[in-house]
Amino acid sequence: MNDDRDDSSDKSWLEKLGHLFDSSPKSREDLLELLNEAQRNDLIDREAFGIIEGALQVSDKQVRDILIPASQMVMVSAVEPPSEFMPKIIKSAHSRFPVVGETKDDVLGILLAKDLLPQVLKGIDEPLDLHELIRPATFVPESKRLNVLLREFRETRNHMAIVLDEYGDVEGLVTIEDVLEEIVGEIEDEHDTQPDSYIRMVNEGDYLIKALTPIEAFNRTFKAEFSEQDFDTIGGILMQEFGHLPKRNETISLGGFTFRVINADTRQIHLLRMSTS
């Protein structure tokens, strides 16, 4: 009997979804409106809708929209001894690093942190030729579409690409995680914001901030002057400024800062990306 009830429930769900799409969408806007209606009717949840919306929008974005600028890249110089670049690698907690020659535009390859493990066992002061460890770098133009880049990442099994401007100079870098985050939202790992931490610096001038960050703590950290009279958290101030519950990737500038919504549900904002530039 339980199986009968489950089959009936599934059939009812499919009938509702099929009825919703009786009128075929003629544009992406029509499709998103239908999906919005599906969400309102509890056929799909907000998270699922956000992923579908992100997947649709990723083809409209280019690498230049999400790249990590060259000024914020953690790079290793081929002429540095291990005693100089190892602390930098450990502190950043990244897994891949561009290796450069005399200038940042002279990218020789990509160094994987795991390839350094044998060197750690030998001793940090042992002679090391990075040319023997680096892997070929992938170069992409800043105008490349993200959906195309994601497909190339999957086909080549690369996780990082160096971004070049129209003159062939290094503009920055982009990773497969950066592209996926445009679809599913911020991907946190063990090195990301912890439950008891409100603010984490991603790069210079680039921060992950919990919406529940007390205004007092935000003001103290960034020498800001947001009022504490009407709201207790930075999320409360932004909700007032937006004038509505913002969706993922909506941005707003306030007090000299630019905020982008990373995670939100039907009731409140949860996570923000903030730039001070």
* Residue 109 predicted with pLDDT over 90: yes
Contact in structure between 219 and 237 (CB atoms under 8 Å): no
Measured distance CA(71)–CA(104) in Å, rounded: 9
* Residue 207 predicted with pLDDT over 50: yes
Write out pLDDT tens, residues 63-93. Answer: 988 888 888 888 999 888 887 888 888 887 7
User: 10 Å Cβ neighbour count for 3?
Assistant: 7
Contact in structure between 201 and 235 (CB atoms under 8 Å): no
Measured distance CA(187)–CA(178) in Å, rounded: 9
Residue 277: its pLDDT value, please? 65
pTM metric for this prediction: 0.60
Measured distance CA(152)–CA(158) in Å, rounded: 8
Residue 19: its pLDDT value, please? 56
| Mean pLDDT of all residues belonging to the chain | 81
* Residue 11 predicted with pLDDT over 70: no
Residue 252: its pLDDT value, please? 94
Measured distance CA(263)–CA(23) in Å, rounded: 31
* Residue 197 predicted with pLDDT over 80: no
Residue 12: its pLDDT value, please? 53
Tokens of 216: 């007092």
Residue 141: its pLDDT value, please? 96
* Confidence band for 221, pLDDT divided at 50, 70 and 90: very high
Contact in structure between 66 and 249 (CB atoms under 8 Å): no
Pairing of strands 76-77, 96-100: parallel
Higher pLDDT, 86 or 126: 86
Q: What domains lie within the chain, and their CATH numbers?
A: 64-183 (3.10.580.10), 199-275 (3.30.465.10)
Give the pLDDT mean for 19-32. 68
Q: Say what percent of the chain tops pLDDT 90.
A: 32
Half-sphere exposure in the Cβ direction for 20 (13 Å, CA): 21
* Confidence band for 125, pLDDT divided at 50, 70 and 90: low
Residue 198: its pLDDT value, please? 83
Residue 128: its pLDDT value, please? 74
Contact in structure between 139 and 152 (CB atoms under 8 Å): no
Residue 196: its pLDDT value, please? 44
Tokens of 71: 């000024």
Give the pLDDT mean for 221-232. 90
Contact in structure between 269 and 211 (CB atoms under 8 Å): yes
Report how far apart the first and last C-alpha atoms of the chain are (Å, whole number): 62
Residue 18: its pLDDT value, please? 57
Residue 214: its pLDDT value, please? 92
Q: Among 18-27, 94-103, 122-131, which stretch is predicted with the lowest mean pLDDT?
A: 18-27
Contact in structure between 199 and 208 (CB atoms under 8 Å): yes
Measured distance CA(42)–CA(226) in Å, rounded: 38
Higher pLDDT, 40 or 250: 250
Residue 247 DSSP code: P
